Amino acid sequence: MPHAPAAFPAARLRRLRRTAALRDLVQEVRLSPADLIWPLFVTDVPGADVAVPSMPGVVRLSVEGVVRAAEEAAGLGIPAICLFPYTDPALRTTGCEEAWNPENLTNRAVRAIKAAVPEVAVMTDVALDPYNALGHDGLVRDGVILNDETVEALVRMALAQAEAGADILGPSDMMDGRIGAMRAALEKAGHRDVTILSYAAKYASSFYGPFRDAVGAGAALKGDKKTYQMNPGNADEALRLVARDLDEGADMVMVKPGMAYLDICRRVKDTFAVPTFAYQVSGEYAMLRGAVAQGWLSEAVILESLLAFRRAGCDGILSYFAPEAARAMA
């Protein structure tokens, strides 16, 4: 148990807040650029380098653009980036075949980044929604999202990304059994060192709207994702999901969204003591960016919000604020 302080005036807790030097000496949790993963949107259709309207300051980049962004990340001390594709609508099908095409947009971008900036870790998204004509993370039949058939497709997608040179695979689909199937396939194919950062506790959240705009899945989505993403009212279930994914071979786990689910981050870290990440998702970014732009909040809330993830037990944070935050910490 923490030791109780002496009674006032022997204990004046403000003593340690009196100067900046004292405050810095006793700060319990710190934030650095090394704690960040920068999510990037890549496209090869018209619209590259154009801001996403619901995410001011965030743009879809060409392959050449994400290479430049990776170089920027390296210069800022950000160790990893995460790629999300805006796929040509003509390539989106109900079978999602483009997802495991070795020459698809994501795989070409991975190869280009690793050739130019090999020291930056490249994380990829493993889910079918950017390739699905129906906007879902899984294959759909008669309005039902298929689990086992989707897992087979995700394995093919994961193998193609690993072959392209991805360092970290981020399964974000929330299908049952996908981590075990991916890990077994990666081992069999010789990709033994590819890391899996599982979106283990991904909630059916209303905070994802701007992201769906950015990858072009929002308009295509038929129905909702509540049969596979988590109920926001559940916490114990998150621990069961994390335990399962770790047992199946996940190296790291993620909670998504982040700011509204810091209690889940803390419970995951305290329970499992494994590398734990959170995603400061598009809606959270848009709220803070909009409030700062209106002058309702100062830019200081950006670093404060990221520090909250670290205080809640997160080892790292995916955030669209990553480069801005890294520059502020320089």
Catalytic residues: 202, 256
Give how far Cα 142 sits from Cα of 7, 39, 94, 126, 129, Å. Answer: 68, 33, 12, 23, 17
Q: Which amino acid makes up residue 217? A: A
Place of tokens 């709207």: 209
CA 3, distance to chain mean position in Å, is 38
Give how far Cα 27 sits from Cα of 84, 265, 307, Å. Answer: 35, 21, 12
3-state SS of 168-224 is: EEEECCCCCCHHHHHHHHHHHCCCCCCEEEEEEEEECCHHHHHHHHHHCCCCCCCCC
User: Would you say 258 and 35 are in contact if contact means Cβ atoms under 8 Å apart?
Assistant: no
Number of Cβ within a 10 Å radius of residue 249? 16
